[in-house]
Every structure is written in C-alpha cells, then in structure tokens.
Amino acid sequence: MGSILSGAEAASLVRSLPGVDAVGLEARAAGLGTRSVKKASKAAAIDMAIGMIDLTTLEGADTPGKVRALCAKAVRPDGDAPPVAAVCVYPSMAAVAAEALKGSGVNVASVATGFPAGQVPLEVRLADTESAVRSGADEIDMVINRGAFLSGDLERVFGEIKAVKAACGDARLKVILETGELVTYDNVRRASFLAMYAGADFIKTSTGKVGVNATLPVTLLMMQAVRDFRRETGVQVGVKPAGGIRNTKDAIKYLVCVNEVLGENWLSPHWFRFGASSLLNDLLMQRQKLKTGNYSGPNYVTVD
C-alpha cells in the first residue's frame, strides 16, 4: 500500500508508542518456546517451515553456478519435500536466479539498497532497487538507514522507505530493521511501526551480517506490532526472522509464536518467512528421520 501519512505524522505516531515490557516479552517468548510438537504435527510443521524458507546466499564469493545450484535445491529440496518460498540473492545474481526459477513458482528475492550496511547515498540505493526489480526480482529486501534512525531522524527513515517502496513497483518490499543494531526493544517497536506506516509488505529482523541476528523475543515483538497494526489499519503485513535460525527446533518455536500471536492467517509463505541457509538441511534431516525412523546425517543432504 502507499502510505497516506506524512513523515511528520508517522514520526509523531511512532514516538507516542508505549515502551516494551522487556521481562514480560522474554518470559512470553521463553514460554512459547517450550511447546512440544511431535509426530504428525511435527511432520506438518517441518513441511510448512520448508515452504516458508527464503533460501539465502549472500556471499562475496557467490557465482552464477552456485546460485543456479541453490535454485535447483529450492525447487526440489529432497525427494517429495515441498519447494521453498524464495531464493534470496544479491542484485547482481537476481537475473541468474530469475532465469533458473522461471515457471517453478519459487520467487526471486533480492537484497538491495546497499545491503547490508545501507551506508550509500539514497539515489544509489534507489538505483540498486530498480536494477534488482528489472533483473526479475519478485521481492526486495531493503535495509533501513540505522544511522538516521538512531540519531532520531525518523522522518528521513520514513521518507526513504517510501521512496524504495515506490521504486519496487509490483515487487513486494521486505524492510530489514537490523534489530541487532537497534539496541533496545523500544526501538524495535518504533522501527516496526515506522516501516509499516511507510508501506512495508514485510518487516524482517536482520541481515544476518551482524553479531546479533533474529531472536525469539525480538521476532515476537515484531509479530505483536504487526498484529496491532492490522487491528489499527486493517492492513496485513508479513514477518521474516532472518539469521541464526539453524535447526528444526528453533523453526518450530517461531511457528508456534506465529500461531499464538498472529493466528492462522499468517501461517502461510505469503505472510511469514524464514531467512536462512543452513536451516533447510536440518529440516530435511529431521524429515528423513521421521520417515525412516533413523537419525540422518549431513552426508544425506547437499553441501551448499
């Protein structure tokens, strides 16, 4: 959606948000993390999680060959396992991924706007976005200007997200808050609302490139923001935790949170994603375990 608010209005709304009860939030996340999901429910959760993965490779050493291999895995991860939601690459690899995924139903997501730091001039960030869309990206993962956010210039952050959203055209926009750099839960709540007011289709926790990535409490907080935002405006926004989610157990904890906080409406790849690379292999190994009854090992999944 295009935002109807001005920067000043959005900033004042965001500044008036109540603070976060950190102890309560962490206790709630820990509580939701203790649910035991077994057998048939676990099998269903694993397949659902596979279908929600943005299979990601964001390395300086990425080559067209590596991206094509990842795309092949995205379409057919293992035997009868479902395909993942999208392949997430750098803009220079978006065209390669788009070619490899054509007609498969798997989306191409491209990071843009000077990922991961975002410390380049706005016109460069916009050009980065437009070029990714032209290369065939269905989804754009942008980073917010943390420098501006942390110095209190919310209007500027708002304006930049809006500009990137306009540059996206039909592509869906995921706004990366980089919660590891926002320091406090209050900031995460403010940044979540600011991004949603500016027209984000998804809010995403992290780039995966800093020390602290997605954590359950932070993601839970963002889910609450998304829930409150829909209650307030009627607009549904997706959530994408990224970075540090490596095993099935963690992924299932996130799914439990989605169900408890957001409800079944969000339990679909259209509204919830995992930004991950090594998670897929662990999900596939757990899937094999459920199928054969034996523990599987890394020799039975691909090396990425």
Partner 1 sequence: MSDRLRVKKTYKLYVGGKFPRSESGRSYAVTTPDGTELANAALASRKDARDAVGAARKAQGPWAGQTAYLRGQILYRAAEMLEGRAGQFAEELEAATGEPSRDAVERAVDRLVHYAGWTDKFASVLGGANPVAGPFFNHTKPEPLGVVAVVAPQDDPLLGLIDALAPVIATGNAAVVIASESKPLPALSFAEVLATSDLPGGVVNLLSGKVAEIAPWLASHGDVNGLDLGGVEDAALAAELEASAAETLKVVRRPGRAGASLDLVRQWTEYKTVWHPAGMASAAGGGY
CA distance 96 to 192: 32
Residue among 57, 219, 224, 288 that touches partner 1 (CB under 8 A): 288
Q: Does 79 bind partner 1 (CB under 8 A)?
A: no
Q: Say if residue 116 is preceded by a cis peptide, omega within 30 of 0.
A: yes
Q: Is 281 in the site for partner 1 (CB under 8 A)?
A: no
Q: How far is the CB of 208 from partner 1 (least distance, A)?
A: 21
From the list 78, 128, 141, 250, the catalytic residue is: 141
Q: Does 16 bind partner 1 (CB under 8 A)?
A: no
The Cα–Cα gap between 262 and 278 comes to: 26
Residues 6+ apart with CB under 8 A from 258: 223, 239, 266, 267, 272
- How large is the greatest C-alpha to C-alpha distance in the chain, in angstroms? 59
Residue 54 falls in the annotated catalytic set:
no
**294 touching partner 1, by CB under 8 A:** yes
286 binds partner 1 (CB under 8 A): no
Segment contacting partner 1 (CB under 8 A): 66-74, 177-185, 206-214, 293-301? 293-301
Instruction: Out of 295, 302, 303, 304, point to the residue binding partner 1 (CB under 8 A).
Output: 295
Listed in sequence order, the DSSP H helices in the chain are 7-15, 22-32, 39-51, 64-75, 91-101, 122-134, 146-150, 154-168, 179-182, 185-197, 216-233, 248-257, 279-292
DSSP state of 5: S
Q: Residue 152 or 298: which CB sits closer to partner 1?
A: 298
Q: Examine residue 298 and tell whether it contacts partner 1 (CB under 8 A).
A: yes
Residues of this chain that bind partner 1 (CB under 8 A) = 285, 288, 293-300
